[in-house]
């Protein structure tokens, strides 16, 4: 699976992961902006260019890490504000974009999470394994359910079998998300020990998310061969697979990153 070759999990690699995620969001969003919205498209393009420049430096592990993190936070916050403004306009029917509001909200939440992770890196704070499992599950399981809903949104309605499969997987991840939310209050702080119920949940999520990553890569190959009828951008499924990979790796390692 060549797509994971560049995915390093040292500090630079984690910064690069989030920069790449946000910059790809901008690239995907670019396709959804109507030609009536030239100013919106122009601002989005400049955000993408800015993020791409910083991402390349992170990939090459160039420069001081603290400066890189600060610059990344600045650029991602600007992008987050831009999307929030756009979503506000979409909710007031003041802008012509084909991206669903749920997708804009999804990208905003990932921008917010980028900055949470960067703040954690800067503080050097230690997170208990149980806290990290609950945090990662609560955050990412909603994203995983969203991903499947977005895949369905882009898939041509005539892909009946695939539509049915994706719908079933969406429901599975929605249930896992509900379970993560329930465990968030059932397993009370301080979470100094890993309770067996939480560990069983963690193992189940790891296994389901590995399957999800595999499915996303299979669909990615079909889309790249133009063998599935879809309006999804060509690199979307790879992006979604990378996020699934990120979730199960963090769960296995008991960390937030
Ligand atoms: Fe993403
Ligand atoms: Fe996502």
What's the number of domains the chain is made of?
2
Whether residues 116 and 149 fall in one domain? no
Whether residues 112 and 136 fall in one domain? no
Whether residues 104 and 171 fall in one domain? no
Whether residues 135 and 251 fall in one domain? yes
Q: What is the 64 CA–ligand 2 centroid distance (Å)?
A: 28
Give the C-alpha separation, 210 to 206, whole Å: 6
Q: What is the 159 CA–ligand 2 centroid distance (Å)?
A: 23
Ligand nearest to the CA of 19: 1
pLDDT at residue 1, as a whole number: 46
State the angle between helix axes of 160-186 and 129-154 in degrees (0 to 180), rounded to the nearest 10: 160
* Four-residue CA torsion sign, 230, 234, 239, 241: positive
Last residue of a domain, one of 71, 91, 125: 125
| Nearby residues for ligand 2 (ion, Cβ within 5 Å) | 143, 243
14 pLDDT more than 90 = yes
pLDDT at residue 8, as a whole number: 84
5 pLDDT more than 70 = no
- The pLDDT tens digits for 84-119 are 999 999 999 999 999 999 999 999 999 999 999 999
Whether residues 14 and 108 fall in one domain? yes
- The pLDDT tens digits for 193-247 are 999 999 999 999 999 999 999 999 999 999 999 999 999 999 999 999 999 999 9
Whether residues 130 and 256 fall in one domain? yes
Whether residues 133 and 253 fall in one domain? yes
Q: How many Cβ atoms from other residues are within 10 Å of residue 22's Cβ?
A: 24
Domain span at residue 168 reads: 126-257
Q: What is the 46 CA–ligand 2 centroid distance (Å)?
A: 21
Last residue of a domain, one of 105, 125, 145: 125
pLDDT at residue 220, as a whole number: 97
Whether residues 177 and 98 fall in one domain? no
- The pLDDT tens digits for 132-185 are 999 999 999 999 999 999 999 999 999 999 999 999 999 999 999 999 999 999
Instruction: Report pTM.
Output: 0.96
Coarse DSSP helix, strand, coil percentages of the chain, rounded to the nearest 5 percent: 75, 0, 25
Whether residues 205 and 251 fall in one domain? yes
Q: What is the 82 CA–ligand 2 centroid distance (Å)?
A: 18
Residue indicated by tokens 């390093």: 8
Residue indicated by tokens 């390692």: 253
Whether residues 94 and 191 fall in one domain? no
Q: Give the domain CATH number at 86.
A: 1.20.1260.120
């Amino acid at each position: 699976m060549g797509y994971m070759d560049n995915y390093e999990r040292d500090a630079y690699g984690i910064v690069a992961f989030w920069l790449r995620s946000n910059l790809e969001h901008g690239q995907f969003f670019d396709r959804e902006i109507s030609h009536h919205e030239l100013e919106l498209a122009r601002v989005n393009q400049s955000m993408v260019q800015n993020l791409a420049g910083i991402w390349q430096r992170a990939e090459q592990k160039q420069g001081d890490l603290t400066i890189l993190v600060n610059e990344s936070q600045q650029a991602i916050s600007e992008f987050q504000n831009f999307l929030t403004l756009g979503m506000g306009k979409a909710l007031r029917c003041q802008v012509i974009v084909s991206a669903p509001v749920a997708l804009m909200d999804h990208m905003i939440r990932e921008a917010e999470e980028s900055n949470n992770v960067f703040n954690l890196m800067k503080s050097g704070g230690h997170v208990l394994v149980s806290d990290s499992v609950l945090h990662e599950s609560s955050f990412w399981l909603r994203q995983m359910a969203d991903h499947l809903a977005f895949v369905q949104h882009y898939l041509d309605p005539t892909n009946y079998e695939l539509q049915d499969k994706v719908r079933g997987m969406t429901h599975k991840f929605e249930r896992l998300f509900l379970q993560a939310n329930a465990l968030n209050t059932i397993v009370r702080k301080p979470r100094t020990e890993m309770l067996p119920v939480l560990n069983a949940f963690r193992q189940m999520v790891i296994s389901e998310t590995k399957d999800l990553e595999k499915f996303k890569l299979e669909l990615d190959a079909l889309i790249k061969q133009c063998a599935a009828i879809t309006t999804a951008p060509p690199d979307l499924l790879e992006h979604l697979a990378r996020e699934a990979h990120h979730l199960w790796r963090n769960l296995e390692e008991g960390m937030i990153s």
